[in-house]
Structure 1
Amino acid sequence: MVAIGDSLTLGVGDGTQDARGDVGWAAHTARALGASAFVNLAANGTRARDLVPRQLAAALAARPDVVLATAGGNDVLRGDFDPAEVERELTAALGALAHPGRRIVLVTIDRIGLFDAFPAAITDVMARRVGLANIAIRAAAATVGATVVDGAAVFRIAGRRAWHIDRIHPSAYGHRQIAWTAVAALSPQWCAVAPISPAPAAPRLRTRAWWLVRKGAPWAVKRSRDLIPQIAQAVTHELLEDRRGRIGRTA
């Protein structure tokens, strides 16, 4: 099995530890299905446009029976988000990976919980972006008959426990719920041979506070110089477009 994509597939959020490729939903899926080999090529910050130039060659070299993938979440968080580009780049990557007998599993993204704390206008814009990204992901998956795991449905069923402290990634529990869904989607062709390990207890308040100081605050400072301004610009643009649209309809 080979995993490609972004921090979700890398395993960020599977506990408060640093992801090292042996955690996360893809790793749990591989273990549950008894994969003879598992290679995780996912990397933090990966966008759909990065899959072909940065991960495709190594994925093809591994000659996998199953490919597990996520992409689109980082595109949603950028000022130049373009759902058509997400679909085009994903289609190119999946087309190259498609092979008789090979199964490909993609996970769609849920709304980004971090933005629930923002004003409703921003929350709505980000939710709309997530919806457009998921349409693009499903369209790309359809071109090669890939299996799609509905990430939003998994989170909806799992509830608040599914979120990591950062409210961007799944928690250890959330990763395992995605893995269970992926395993079920791959059956009966691939039958589970080992149980998915239970999620550890949710981190205590002290652990969460330490994580926020050690990881969350530096992330916020770093993103205040790039990501947050881009999001603010994108949200402002979309709100202005919505306003122009309403004015045009009433004129």
Structure 2
Amino acid sequence: MTGPRVVAMGDSITLGVGDGIESQWGSVGWAALVATALGASAFTNLAANGVRARDLAAQVSRVERLRPDIVLLTVGGNDALRGDFDADEVETATRDALTALTSSPARVVVVTIDRIGLFDLLPRGIARAMARRAQAVNTALRRAAATTDVTVLDGSVIFAIEGAAAWHIDRIHPSPRGHRALASAAVASLAARWPRTAAIPAPARTPSRVARVWWLARHGAPWAAKRSRDLLPQVVRSVISEVRSPTASAPHTPTAGRP
């Protein structure tokens, strides 16, 4: 039996950031692992760094020309990291993309995001505000998928099962182990139509604690500081609102294995 044609789209998680070096992105990561495990007859990765929900329309037109059997998608993380974050926009743009994708026979798999662990290094109010953004993104993604025949995988649950080792040093992207956990979940969700034909290869060795701490000090903290200049006004408003309404419910976010 000829393997499925697989197309990946969305943001840096689907591009493969966190699994392999930069020159390999596009051919590594959870989506590439799914294609390999299913014996794909063709694999194209259209994902790119920085993609937001509003950017999906441009990718959809390219996906349609490839006539895939399977489409793999992550989106929403970059929306949560922007000062002009709008959950309604995420929902509308994602729904439009999913509606177009499911107008063909392609099977679409969407992975929701987990809270961005890098912000857990910052004051608790900021971390909680960012966790609420992650929850808002996931609610938007689920609502967008609700009217379509799309498989939605809960990224936070998958990561919580794997623990801290599921996270890349940057605490934003999956580690090699995290990418493999996402791939395994996606392969399982597609098994009824496309059974696995090859094993998912084992990940590379996890970096030492010293290496992780060095990376965070050298790259992670400066990135968070730079991004906070964009986010800070909205995050501060969220924190102030929370203080004024202490009975507001906090988002449910798995904490097992949080790095």
Give the TM-score normalised by structure 2: 0.86
Q: Aligned ranges for residues 121-132 of structure 1 at < 5 Å?
A: 121-132=125-136
Aligned counterparts of 1:154 and 1:129: Cα–Cα separation in 2:
19
Determine whether 1:56 maps to 2:67. Answer: no
Aligned counterparts of 2:149 and 2:47: Cα–Cα separation in 1:
22
Q: Is the 8 A contact 1:12 1:18 kept in 2?
A: no
Give CA-to-partner distance per residue, 1:76-100, whole Å, 9 cap, x none: 1111111110000001111111135
Aligned counterparts of 2:170 and 2:246: Cα–Cα separation in 1:
35
Determine whether 1:28 maps to 2:27. Answer: no
Distance 1:210 1:117, change over 3 A: closer
Q: Aligned-pair distance for 1:36?
A: 0.3
1:234 matched to which residue of 2? 234
What SS class does the counterpart of residue 38 from structure 1 fall into?
strand
1:143 matched to which residue of 2? 147
Aligned counterparts of 1:19 and 1:223: Cα–Cα separation in 2:
25
What SS class does the counterpart of residue 109 from structure 1 fall into?
coil
Q: Aligned-pair distance for 1:188?
A: 1.1
Determine whether 1:66 maps to 2:70. Answer: yes
Aligned counterparts of 1:241 and 1:50: Cα–Cα separation in 2:
30
Counterpart among 186, 190, 193 of residue 194 in structure 2: 190
Give the TM-score normalised by structure 1: 0.89
Q: Is the 8 A contact 2:64 2:101 kept in 1?
A: yes
Distance 1:18 1:157, change over 3 A: farther
Counterpart among 158, 163, 173 of residue 159 in structure 1: 163
Q: Aligned-pair distance for 1:220?
A: 5.6
Q: Is the 8 A contact 1:10 1:20 kept in 2?
A: yes
Unmatched 5+ stretches in structure 2: 1-5, 248-259
Determine whether 1:11 maps to 2:16. Answer: yes
Q: Aligned-pair distance for 1:202?
A: 1.0
Q: Aligned-pair distance for 1:128?
A: 0.7
**RMSD, aligned α-carbons:** 2.1
2:50 matched to which residue of 1? 45
Q: Aligned-pair distance for 1:200?
A: 1.1
Q: Aligned ranges for residues 166-205 of structure 1 at < 5 Å?
A: 166-204=170-208
Distance 1:94 1:241, change over 3 A: same
Q: Is the 8 A contact 2:145 2:152 kept in 1?
A: yes
Aligned counterparts of 1:124 and 1:68: Cα–Cα separation in 2:
29
Aligned counterparts of 2:213 and 2:20: Cα–Cα separation in 1:
14
Q: Counterpart amino acid of 2:31? A: A
Count of residue correspondences: 242
Q: Counterpart amino acid of 1:84? A: D
